Amino acid sequence: SDPEIYVRYAPIDAVKMGKALDRRSKQKGESGKVLDDWGIRANADILINSCVGIYMVFSDAPDEKLSLREGDPNGTWTKFDTDLADAMGFDVDRSDAAVSCVRSLYMTDGDLGDATDKLMKFSNMSNGEADEAF
């Protein structure tokens, strides 16, 4: 059977998120204009910066979290990188490979936005629990 792919995230770093939003909102394309999809790219940056690792699990071994790195199933998990692109067969823009990998893994920009929203909710909950524990 085919494996399921999982992405493990840490809570969002608010400083990195602010920098990603600022940088992408000013990034210009070849035309000299701000990119139309800067918001999606910023959301992708948020997921990239929060990614702990990406792994696969086979249904017959649910406790084994395997790397997608070719020839190294017990190695370090991939992130949104060219190793992931190669393992998944993504055709990515190597000039912005991480963002291209995020967009390929989530298939639609709506899915990517939904994942970012869920991560933001998780991050707010995690930060609130940390404040209470402190």
Each residue's pLDDT tens digit, 81-118: 999 999 999 998 888 899 999 999 999 999 999 999 99
Please indicate, yes or no, if residue 132 is contained in any of the structural domains. no
Domain, as residue range, for 81: 4-127
Mean pLDDT computed over every residue of the chain: 90
Confidence of residue 133 (pLDDT cuts 50, 70, 90): very low
What pLDDT shows up at residue 81?
A: 93
Q: How far apart are CA 81 and CA 92, in angstroms?
A: 10
Judged against a pLDDT cut of 70, whether residue 134 lies above it is answered with no
Judged against a pLDDT cut of 80, whether residue 47 lies above it is answered with yes
Q: How far apart are CA 110 and CA 133, in angstroms?
A: 34
Please indicate, yes or no, if residue 74 is contained in any of the structural domains. yes
| Contact predicate 99/42, CB 8 Å | no
- Based on the structure, what is the number of domains in the chain? 1
Instruction: Give the predicted TM-score (pTM) of the model.
Output: 0.87
Please indicate, yes or no, if residue 134 is contained in any of the structural domains. no
What pLDDT shows up at residue 29?
A: 84
Q: How far apart are CA 93 and CA 86, in angstroms?
A: 12
Confidence of residue 28 (pLDDT cuts 50, 70, 90): confident
